[in-house]
């Protein structure tokens, strides 16, 4: 059984470990440098009045996914950016859906009108996930150079809250 709750500082190390496994595997996230629990906590603390962080826990209370929304410098004030991460091998089991239910409510409560998801064009799973939530493509950025030097296209999708 999956439960979702707001993330806490004590979750940061587990969240970093989950994210680092995804970064190491490659191919789905634009993030290319490993993160520490301290890095995650700094992100959580960077804009607490305009962001929301949630974790998904399995029956043993292990973090199996997390999601956040926050303002982004390239978006208008009524929009927030979203990031979603599910433990390798646990996708397609409803974890992302459970997280998004909590995140969409939080976005509305924070006064956002829409949520932006920017996904690497080669991340079929991410594109499918956001489309299944009702996100619609609104812009495509071609030839984006990641920190690793890899060049990818990015697709931005919009969800009206």
pLDDT for 146: 81
How does pLDDT run across 15-33, given as a tens digit for each residue?
999 999 988 876 667 677 8
R_g over Cα of the chain: 15
Confidence check: pLDDT of 42 > 70: yes
C-alpha torsion 52→58→62→65, nearest 10 = -40
Number of domains within the chain: 1
Model confidence, pTM? 0.91
Find the mean pLDDT for residues 50-64. Answer: 94
CATH (domain of 131): 3.40.630.30
Name the residue range of residue 19's domain: 3-160
How does pLDDT run across 72-98, given as a tens digit for each residue?
999 999 999 999 999 988 777 789 999
Distance between CA atoms of residues 149 and 30, nearest Å: 11
């Amino acid at each position: 059984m999956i439960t979702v709750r707001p993330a806490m500082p004590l979750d940061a190390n587990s969240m970093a470990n989950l994210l680092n496994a995804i970064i190491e595997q490659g191919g789905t996230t634009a993030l290319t440098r490993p993160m520490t629990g301290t890095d995650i906590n700094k992100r959580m603390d960077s804009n607490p009045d305009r962001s929301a962080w949630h974790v998904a826990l399995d029956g043993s209370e292990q973090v199996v996914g997390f999601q956040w929304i926050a303002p982004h410098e390239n978006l208008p004030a009524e929009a927030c950016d979203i990031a979603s991460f599910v433990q390798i091998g646990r996708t397609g089991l409803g974890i992302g859906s459970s997280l998004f239910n909590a995140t969409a409510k939080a976005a509305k409560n924070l006064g956002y009108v829409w949520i932006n998801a920017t996904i690497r064009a080669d991340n079929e799973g991410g594109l499918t996930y956001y489309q299944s939530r009702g996100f619609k493509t609104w812009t495509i950025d071609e030839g984006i150079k990641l920190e690793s030097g890899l060049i990818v296209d990015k697709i931005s999708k919009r969800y009206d809250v």
